[in-house]
Amino acid sequence: MTYDQLKLENQLCFPVYASSRLIIREYQPYLDELKITYPQYLVLLVLWEKDQQAVNDIAKKLILNTNTITPLLKRMEQQGLVSRKRSETDERKVLISLTEEGVQMREKAAKIPQELSQRLLTNEEIDIDELIKLKQSLNSIITLLSK
């Protein structure tokens, strides 16, 4: 029996994993300027779209467990980026809101997506249509696997 299916080059997971790590590495200089981590950036993206959300809702959007996101949110609260408070209508829910510093960080972060896209597109091996198609394909896989 051959085991070609076990070769690294035949795996879907490896290029997705490696791409993810390399893309996050490209984000790092921008995030270092903001003094945040990539997971914190993702939380901020969610809150910049809609402020004051329950921990469970943020976790669901980021496809994370609440026990993973809770320590992250506590650190963000200590940094002064978000506030956490119990819902007045349902004390089981913890609501996360942006602080003034968290709101202001949005302006500083606004340049990140465009600058990263330009970096990817300066390479003649990939164009904007391919990036859009790749994103759509990855979103389809996420939808499929999230069921």
Domains of the chain with bracketed CATH:
37-99 (1.10.10.10)
Q: What is the pLDDT of residues 17-73, one digit of tens each?
A: 999 999 999 999 999 999 999 999 999 999 999 999 999 999 999 999 999 999 999
Question: Residue 83: beta bridge partners?
Answer: 97
Pairing of strands 94-98, 53-54: antiparallel
Question: Residue 118 pLDDT more than 90?
Answer: no
Task: Evaluate whether 64 touches 42 at the Cβ level (below 8 Å).
Answer: no
